[in-house]
Amino acid sequence: MSAPTVGYIGADVPVELITAAGLLPLRLTGKPGEDSTPGDRYLGRGVDPVARSILTRILTGGYGPLEAIVVSRDCEASLRLFYALRELHRVEPELRLPPVRLVDVLHLPHHTTTRYVHAKLAQLREWLGRWRPIGDDDLAAAITAHDTLRRSLGRCAVLRRANRLSGTRFLEVVAATTRLPVTEAITLADGVIADSSEADGMRLFLTGSSHDDPAVYETLERNGFLVAGEDHDWGELLFTRTCAAPTELALAERYQYNGPAAPRASVRQRAAHTAAAARACGAEVLLSYARVHDDAPPWDFPEQRAATGLRAVLAERQPYGELTPGALAALLPAGVVA
Percent of the chain at pLDDT > 70 equals 97
Residue-level pLDDT at 248: 98
Q: Which residue did the predictor score with more confidence, 209 or 197?
A: 209
What are the backbone dihedrals phi and psi of residue 139, each rounded to the nearest 5 degrees, phi first? -65, -45
Is 70 exceeded by the pLDDT of residue 195?
no
Residue-level pLDDT at 132: 96
CA 24 to mean position of chain CA atoms: 17
Other beta carbons less than 10 A from residue 109's beta carbon: 8
Helix (H, G, I), strand (E, B) or coil at 271: helix
CA distance 209 to 73: 16
Is 90 exceeded by the pLDDT of residue 199?
no
Percent of the chain at pLDDT > 90 equals 91
Considering only 18-32, 97-111, 182-196, which range has the smallest mean pLDDT? 182-196
Residue-level pLDDT at 226: 96
Average pLDDT, the chain: 94
Is 60 exceeded by the pLDDT of residue 257?
yes
**pLDDT tens string 264-299:** 788 999 999 999 999 999 999 999 999 999 988 999
CA distance 90 to 84: 10
Which residues make beta-bridge pairs with 203? 226
CA distance 22 to 133: 9
Nearest C-alpha neighbor of 199 from the set 235, 223, 228: 228
Contact 69, 101 (CB under 8 A): yes
Q: How confident is the model at residue 1 (pLDDT cuts 50, 70, 90)?
A: low
Is 60 exceeded by the pLDDT of residue 152?
yes
DSSP assignment of 289-311: EEETT--HHHHHHHHHHHHH-SE
Nearest C-alpha neighbor of 264 from the set 12, 89, 17: 12
Contact 160, 201 (CB under 8 A): no
Contact 14, 255 (CB under 8 A): yes
Q: How confident is the model at residue 337 (pLDDT cuts 50, 70, 90)?
A: very low
Alpha-carbon torsion angle 211, 212, 215, 220, nearest 10: 30
Residue-level pLDDT at 264: 78
Is 50 exceeded by the pLDDT of residue 81?
yes
**pLDDT tens string 35-56:** 999 999 999 999 999 999 999 9
